[in-house]
């Protein structure tokens, strides 16, 4: 069974046309499917429109949120409700072409766990996003070690096992391929058709590319050191502790070998003590993190029994 999860936010003009296009494609595949629309606090009547569509079509499931929570909450809810072994996500603005769904299904049957769309002609439709997007994807490749040309594409298919491993909050929905790769799942991408926006306007501003850099650092840090924070803070603590120790040794050497009074090296003494204290604080932060991590539940482990 295939579950198609679609976030909706103020897309009243698009959703019915999108639904009809999806139905036209999946009916030809002769597979079991469900379509889950998740309305993220729309104010343009999108929820009412979805309810009308649901009354006429049994394949539709509609979930409504009291306010706008963002895509991480939307995806997490949709993944939890999905009954299918495979889950397809796509946007509701008609830029994702449902005719690509058979290609996603064909590719994931090759043994992959996550297949992401690569909007190959995207920059012809959205030229202002070219340079920021290239930089953003380069940083993702550098920090996560997986080469995807459009990892932030919302058009993708995932196996249920990969979905269960995701812990989405904040803007972590933008790192679904990277998080899956870190957890050991096989990830690939396929080029897809990307259509120009027909109705409305983009919900994302240019400022998002700046905040995205901090998101990359946050996800990389939590993915690497969530259950071993002492490794991170302990390593950092070595720098100030070493500097402080060297300064104090220098003062002692001057006192013992040259007879230089401590009063001549007050600045070095104070700075050395402060650096050692800073290092100890980092070290204690690491121990505190270890204590908190110890109380956390062990994350889902990805394995298969032959």
Q: What is the pLDDT of residue 201?
A: 63
Name the H helices within the chain. Answer: 15-29, 46-56, 71-81, 101-108, 122-125, 130-144, 160-164, 176-182, 208-225, 229-258, 266-295
Q: Is 194 helix (H, G, I), strand (E, B) or coil?
A: strand
Q: Kindly report the CA angle at 74 between 209 and 36, in degrees rounded to 5?
A: 125
The number of beta carbons lying within 10 Å of the beta carbon of residue 238 is: 12
Q: What is the pLDDT of residues 132-181, one digit of tens each?
A: 777 777 788 788 888 888 888 899 999 999 998 888 888 888 889 999 99
pLDDT at 274: 95
Sign of the Cα pseudo-torsion (48, 54, 56, 60, in order): positive
pLDDT value of position 76:
92
From CA 241, how far away is CA 272, in angstroms rounded? 8
Give the number of other Cβ atoms within 10 Å of residue 229's Cβ: 20
Interatomic CA distance for residues 171 and 208, integer angstroms: 10
- Rounded Cα–Cα distance for residues 76 and 71 (Å): 8
Q: Mean pLDDT throughout 258-278?
A: 90
Q: What is the pLDDT of residue 203?
A: 55
pLDDT in tens, 105-132: 999 999 999 999 998 766 555 555 666 7
Buried/exposed 188-203: b ≥16 CB within 10 Å, e otherwise: bbbebebeeeeebeee
Please tell me whether the overall predicted TM-score, pTM, comes out greater than 0.85 for this model: no
For residue 14, what are the contacts with CB-CB under 8 A and spacing of at least 6?
A: 92, 93, 94, 198, 199, 200
* 237, burial (CB in 10 Å: exposed 0-12, middle 13-18, buried 19+): buried
Examine the pLDDT at 89 and tell me if it is beyond 70: yes
Phi and psi (nearest 5°) for 157? -130, 140
Residue 215 CB neighbour total at 10 angstroms: 17
Surface-to-core class of residue 204, CB atoms within 10 Å of its CB (0-12 exposed, 13-18 middle, 19+ buried): exposed
Write the DSSP string, 117-132.
Answer: EEETTHHHH-GGGHHH
DSSP state of 110: T
Band (pLDDT 50/70/90 cuts) for residue 74 is very high
Tokens of residue 4, six digits: 């198609």
More confident position, 216 or 300: 216
Q: What is the mean pLDDT of residues 269-292?
A: 89
pLDDT tens digit sequence for 235-267: 899 999 999 999 999 999 988 888 888 888 899
Q: How far apart are CA 173 and CA 70, in angstroms?
A: 9
Q: What is the mean pLDDT of the chain?
A: 85
């Amino acid at each position: 069974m295939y579950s198609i999860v679609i976030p909706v936010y103020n897309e009243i003009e698009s959703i019915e046309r999108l639904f009809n296009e999806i139905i036209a494609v999946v009916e030809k595949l002769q597979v079991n499917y469900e379509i889950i629309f998740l309305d993220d606090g729309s104010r343009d009547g999108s929820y009412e429109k979805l309810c009308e569509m649901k009354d006429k079509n049994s394949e539709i499931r509609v979930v409504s949120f009291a306010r706008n929570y963002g895509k991480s909450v939307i995806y997490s809810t949709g993944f939890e409700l999905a009954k299918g072994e495979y889950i397809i996500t796509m946007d509701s603005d008609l830029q994702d072409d449902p005719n690509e769904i058979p290609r996603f299904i064909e590719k994931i049957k090759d043994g992959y766990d996550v297949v992401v769309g690569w909007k190959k002609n995207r920059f012809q439709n959205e030229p202002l996003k070219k340079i920021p997007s290239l930089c953003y994807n380069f940083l993702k490749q550098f920090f996560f070690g997986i080469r995807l040309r459009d990892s932030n594409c919302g058009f993708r298919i995932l196996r249920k096992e990969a979905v269960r491993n995701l812990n989405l909050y904040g803007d972590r929905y933008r790192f679904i391929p990277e998080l899956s790769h870190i957890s050991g799942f096989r990830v690939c991408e396929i080029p897809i058709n990307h259509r120009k926006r027909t109705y409305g306007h983009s919900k994302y501003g240019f400022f998002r590319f700046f905040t995205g850099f901090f998101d990359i650092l946050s996800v990389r840090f939590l993915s690497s050191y969530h259950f071993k924070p002492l490794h991170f803070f302990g390593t950092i603590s070595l720098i100030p502790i070493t500097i402080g120790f060297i300064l104090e040794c220098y003062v002692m050497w001057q006192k013992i070998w040259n007879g230089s009074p401590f009063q001549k090296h007050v600045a070095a003494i104070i700075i050395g003590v402060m650096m050692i204290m800073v290092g100890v604080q980092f070290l204690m932060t690491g121990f505190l993190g270890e204590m908190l991590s110890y109380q956390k539940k062990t994350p889902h482990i990805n394995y298969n029994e032959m």
